[in-house]
Amino acid sequence: MSIPVHDPWQWLALLQHELLLFAGVFFLIGALDDLAIDALWLADRFGGGRRTMRRNRAALQHRPLSGPIAVLIPAWREAAVIGQTVGHLLGTWPQPQLRLYVGCYRNDAATLAACIAAARADPRLRLVIHDRDGPTTKADCLNRLYAALVVDEERGQRRFRAVVFHDAEDMVDAGALGLLDECITGGADFVQLPVEPLIPRHRAFFARHVGAHYCEEFAEAHGKAMVVRDALGAGLPGAGVGCAASRRALDWLVAGQGDGSPFAADSLTEDYELGLAIAAAGGRCRFVRARGEDGRLIATRAYFPHSFDTVVRQKSRWVLGISLQGWDRVGWSGGLIETWMRARDRRGPLTALVLLVGYVLVLLTGLMGVLVLAGFAPPIRVTPLLAAVLAANALAFAWRIGMRFAFTAREYGLAEGLWAIARLPLANVIAIIAGRRAVFAYIAALMGRAAAWDKTEHEANPAPGAVYGMAR
């Protein structure tokens, strides 16, 4: 079709048509990918497969451990939250065989002082001061904690049974340690429990919803996607919190690194790589969902970031480490199922681009609608192919909204399920900006910029009443 050079409205109509086709096709590919996960989850859920277990939280809390277990918490400038985290963890998990290792930096006296004040002379706490100024990377701090753990093993002539990983802001569940130990004793080499972000209701309206948008993301990811990965036997990406690795699995990681440490110090997403590396070494990985007798998930709870800039920085670090550096660090080995799962993990930059095109289309469609009503431009001609693509996307979008509502409402209530739908544009804008920032950061890394701990700032822990259950 030839378009007169002097007719700008026809050029706009052509641009609109081509963008609609581009975005529609790629949205449909993503929708089919998600629908495949949904279908597998539904088949497993209603086909007699695995279901969320029911366990007695108090019995798990006081369950004797099968052997010494270490909990590692790296901390840099966490004075605002680390004290309550340490005090809550030691008070919630009473087992004498527990050892809590908190990694601080020599130039971060405030975090060190907060840890000491919270420990109340509990002999299970081991403070480890890094011999380098912070921040380095979280992976580097974990390596320093691992080195201290090995020294303690040599001194005590007894190896730890497993290592549990947590962050400085985490509020642990009373039943989590017993459940992790039970799974490791049962033969698992890596275990991930659900993560349940809490809604920051004490924040202003916008900040509340910026922080709460993590709720629906984790509700779906840890209520469906991780369940499917576990059922398929694929490697499980670690969340970095509420997860445990057997001691022998850490030995495999150390052997793979070849420098006496389990993690690559320049990794920005060592938590994501943890489970995948253990699976690649032949370890058995499990994602375990269990509810207490009160119906509440046995999960790690925390407030996630609530300021827009902080959320974008965190999401861009995830995209950079998983989607971009993951190509170099993790690769594509492992067979068809593993390749599919890693492709899903790494679609962040493409998703950001397609979302950006989608929002440009919204503006362009509005402009063209005004021009058509004013008589300056003819209506866009929708081809049968484009009509079919748009109709399929509309149906897929309606299904996606329903799934997001259902998974969010199951954990947070009906009202929050509706808010999850309303927050979709906010989550999309965050994804677009984070994707752009990650691409530029990756280019900078290729040009030689060293990795740094672009950490998330934490200001408060949840109130005690919200720790074990749903934030309602």
Say which range, 98-102, 216-220, 323-327, has the weakest mean pLDDT. Answer: 323-327
pLDDT over 90 at 361, yes or no: no
Q: What is the mean pLDDT of residues 124-137?
A: 93
Over the chain, what HEC string results?
CCCCCCCHHHHHHHHHHHHHHHHHHHHHHHHHHHHHHHHHHHHHHHCCCCCCEECCHHHHHCCCCCCCEEEEEECCCCCCCHHHHHHHHHHHCCCCCEEEEEEEECCCHHHHHHHHHHHCCCCCEEEEEECCCCCCCHHHHHHHHHHHHHHHHHHHCCCCCEEEECCCCCECCCCHHHHHHHHHHCCCCEEECCEEEECCCCCCHHHHHHHHHHHHHHHHHHHHHHHHHHHHCCCCCCCCCCEEEEHHHHHHHHHHHCCCCCCCCCCCCHHHHHHHHHHHCCCCEEECCEECCCCCECCEEEECCCCHHHHHHHHHHHHHHHHHHHHHHCCCCCHHHHHHHHHHHCCHHHHHHHHHHHHHHHHHHHHHHHHHHHCCCCCCCCCHHHHHHHHHHHHHHHHHHHHHHHHHHHHHCHHHHHHHHHCHHHHHHHHHHHHHHHHHHHHHHHCCCCCCCCCCCCCCCCCHHHCCCCCC
As to burial, measured by CB atoms within 10 angstroms (0-12 exposed, 13-18 middle, 19+ buried), residue 154 is: exposed
What local confidence, expressed as pLDDT, does residue 472 receive?
31
What six digits make up the tokens of 271? 């938590």
* 365: in domain: no
What local confidence, expressed as pLDDT, does residue 28 receive?
95
pLDDT over 60 at 4, yes or no: no
Percentage of residues in the chain having pLDDT higher than 90? 71
Label residue 335 left, alpha or beta by phi (over 0 means left) and psi (-120 to 50 means alpha): left
pLDDT over 70 at 468, yes or no: no
* 437: in domain: no
Place of tokens 């985290």: 85
> Cα–Cα distance between 387 and 381 in angstroms, integer?
10
* 27: in domain: no
Q: What is the mean pLDDT of residues 2-31?
A: 78
pLDDT over 70 at 5, yes or no: no
> Cα–Cα distance between 31 and 437 in angstroms, integer?
25
What local confidence, expressed as pLDDT, does residue 455 receive?
66
How many domains does the structure of the chain reveal?
1
* 456: in domain: no
pLDDT over 80 at 14, yes or no: no
What is each CA distance from 168 to 73, 229, 367, 466, in whole angstroms?
A: 6, 28, 48, 17
Rounded to the nearest integer, the mean pLDDT of the chain is: 90
Torsion sign (Cα): 324, 329, 332, 335: negative
Domain CATH number, residue 74: 3.90.550.10
* 111: in domain: yes
Higher pLDDT, 374 or 135: 135
Q: What is the mean pLDDT of residues 134-148?
A: 95
Which are the contacts of 362, defined by CB distance < 8 A and separation ≥ 6?
Answer: none
What local confidence, expressed as pLDDT, does residue 463 receive?
60
Percentage of residues in the chain having pLDDT higher than 70? 93
* 63: in domain: yes
What local confidence, expressed as pLDDT, does residue 458 receive?
66
pLDDT per residue over 269-328, tens digit each? 899 999 999 999 999 999 999 999 999 999 999 999 999 999 999 999 999 889 888 777
* 145: in domain: yes
What local confidence, expressed as pLDDT, does residue 124 receive?
96
What local confidence, expressed as pLDDT, does residue 460 receive?
64
Q: What is the mean pLDDT of residues 18-25?
A: 88
What local confidence, expressed as pLDDT, does residue 259 receive?
92
* 5: in domain: no
pTM equals: 0.91
State the residue range of the domain holding 232. 53-306
pLDDT per residue over 409-465, tens digit each? 999 999 999 999 999 999 999 999 999 999 988 888 888 776 666 666 666 677 655
pLDDT over 80 at 3, yes or no: no
